[in-house]
Structure 1
Amino acid sequence: MLRLLIAICFIGPINKAAWLIGTWESQTSKGIIYESWKRESSKELSGKSYMLKGKDTLIFETIRLIADQHQLYYIPTVKNQNNGQPVRFALKKTSDNQLVFENSEHDFPQIITYRKLDADSLIAEISGMVDGRLRKEIFPMRKVQ
């Protein structure tokens, strides 16, 4: 019984994020950005953000979504940022269609939000304070796989 309760604590948050699984695309001024998610285990999803340039895939971010110690963490590693080290954002708010992760100590962003609009579209948003001003970047995405 105790194992079942522990498993529910870990699996529950990951299942709330299962709607991320698949490949999403966003049209930006720099071209099409893709974000792909897959399930690694009952406690982890992994993702990557990338662009296609000719026959090359340019990965600029890898992401781990991990259930750890009764908490869900969004852990991106971004090329040429934070000395290539991962940064941990804790889940602060969740619902059936929204995930909000925060790290108030990070320079930018401090908040990462995914909001599901329907089965094939979502909005990813990064936001936070920069030089005393609120900065937001919004990425409307549609599911392509």
Structure 2
Amino acid sequence: MESWKKLNDSTYLGKSYQLSGLDTLSAEDVRLEEHHGNLYYIPTVKNQNDGKPVIFTMTTVSADGFVFENPEHDFPQKITYNRMSKDSVAAEISGTYKGKQRAIKFPMGRVK
């Protein structure tokens, strides 16, 4: 689950959540920032990377989705968002982890 809000003309702030039974747990904070014509996805995950953000650069954009990549990151190296319908998207993190290709999907629907 994700929620987003606009901070200004070049920055959106997001939070992703996971459910554990009936509890909602914060998984990561994200900044989506535009600088000099480039778009960056910058997550900060508690208890990972010493609490420092990781920068992913947009490499692909289409009418139905976009891809951010950071080939130097341990895992994931790629974050993909694809529109599935008017009210749903699927996010996927993927890349190489311990020498093996891995991908994890996160289907999401709009909460009304």
Give TM-score scaled by structure 1 length: 0.71
- List aligned pairs for 1:10-49, cutoff 5 A: 34-49=1-16
Q: Quick check: which one's helix share is greater?
A: 1
* Unmatched 5+ stretches in structure 2: none
| Identity fraction in percent | 52
Q: Which has the higher contact order (CA 8 A, sep 6+)?
A: 1
Residue 122 of structure 1 corresponds to 89
CA distance change for structure 1 residues 81 and 69 in 2, over 3 Å: closer, same or farther? same
Q: What is the root-mean-square deviation of aligned Cα atoms in Å?
A: 1.7
Q: Which runs of 4+ in 1 moved over 6 A?
A: 53-56
Computing the radius of gyration from Cα coordinates, the structure with the larger value is 1
Structure richer in strand, relative to its length = 2
Write the distance in 2 (CA, Å) between the matches of 1:109 and 1:56. 26
> Match of 1:101?
68
Q: Distance in 2 between matches of 1:139 and 1:54?
A: 17
Q: Which runs of 5+ in 1 are unaligned?
A: 1-33
